[in-house]
């Protein structure tokens, strides 16, 4: 039921998109944690996963990999994608700061970036306040097996029944989320 509601909000532009995630433990932790999503199919995606995992391993976090289904608004339709999410839990805020710097240097699409890097990587940070990140809200609808998560600029959930927590995203995501925030405000 919630997925149909979120789909409607995406199609009408009130949300930029949402994810359906196997592992949403990062939303409940106070440990310095970074999540990084990448596409699950294609050779470039596999190279990206390997490069990102190796770069994070150098910083010594505990890591786990889970599946994500991306649902992104695209001019009145929804583009769905299979993704992988690498969650890295760090011993200190300093190590997490270094991880965010690594994302900026090596995993934002550019000529020298790792293959498969996104222009605007979906990175979510909790348990710390690193540079180059901005505060947003993650609205979480729990269900057995997988949960829906939508990011917005405001604390008010876009649909009933959500648990809302503050997270941080890379600064370039703010302008991405502003578009849906303006449409949602106009719809109220």
| Position 29 pLDDT exceeds 70 | yes
Condensed to tens digits (0 to 9), the pLDDT of residues 108-136 reads 888 888 888 888 889 999 999 999 899 99
Other C-beta atoms closer than 10 Å to the C-beta of 17 total: 22
Residue 182 has pLDDT above 50, yes or no: no
Give the pLDDT of residue 106. 92
CB 53 within 8 A of CB 84: no
pLDDT value at residue 187: 42
Ranges of beta strands (E only) in the chain are: 17-21, 33-39, 62-74, 77-89, 123-126, 133-141, 147-152, 163-170
Question: Beta partners for 124?
Answer: 35, 169
Indicate the range of 10-19, 93-102, 116-125 predicted with least confidence: 116-125
CA distances from residue 45 to 18, 39, 42, 83 in whole angstroms, order as listed: 20, 6, 5, 9
Q: Which residue(s) pair with 168 in the sheet?
A: 125, 135
Give the pLDDT band (50/70/90) at residue 177. confident
pTM attached to this predicted model: 0.90
CATH class given for the domain over 2-187: alpha beta
**Coil, strand, or helix at residue 63?**
strand
How high is the pLDDT of residue 180? 60
pLDDT at 183: 44
- Contact predicate 152/137, CB 8 Å: yes
Residue 115, pLDDT score: 86
Q: How far apart are CA 121 and CA 84, in angstroms?
A: 12
Average pLDDT score, the chain: 90
Q: In this structure, what DSSP letter does residue 108 have? A: B
Q: How far apart are CA 66 and CA 1, in angstroms?
A: 23
Mean pLDDT, rounded, for 38-46: 85
98 pLDDT exceeds 80? Answer: yes
For the stretch 62-87, pLDDT in tens is 999 999 999 999 989 999 999 999 99
Q: Is the pLDDT of residue 99 over 90?
A: yes
């Amino acid at each position: 039921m919630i997925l149909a509601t979120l789909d409607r909000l995406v199609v009408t532009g009130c949300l930029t998109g949402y994810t359906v995630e196997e592992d949403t433990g990062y939303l409940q932790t106070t440990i310095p944690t970074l999540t990084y999503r990448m596409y699950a199919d294609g050779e470039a995606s596999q190279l990206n996963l390997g490069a990102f995992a190796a770069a994070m391993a150098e910083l010594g976090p505990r890591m786990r990999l889970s599946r994500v289904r991306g649902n992104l608004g695209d001019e009145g339709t929804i583009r769905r994608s299979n993704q992988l999410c690498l969650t890295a839990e760090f011993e200190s805020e300093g190590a997490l700061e270094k991880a965010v710097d690594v994302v900026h240097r090596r995993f934002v699409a550019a000529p020298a970036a790792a293959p498969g890097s996104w222009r605007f990587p979906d990175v979510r940070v909790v348990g710390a306040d690193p540079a180059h990140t901005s505060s947003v809200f993650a609205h979480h609808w729990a269900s057995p097996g997988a949960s829906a998560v939508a990011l917005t600029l405001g604390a008010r959930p876009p649909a009933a029944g959500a648990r809302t927590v503050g997270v941080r995203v890379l600064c370039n995501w703010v302008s991405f989320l502003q578009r849906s925030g303006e449409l949602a405000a106009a719809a109220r």
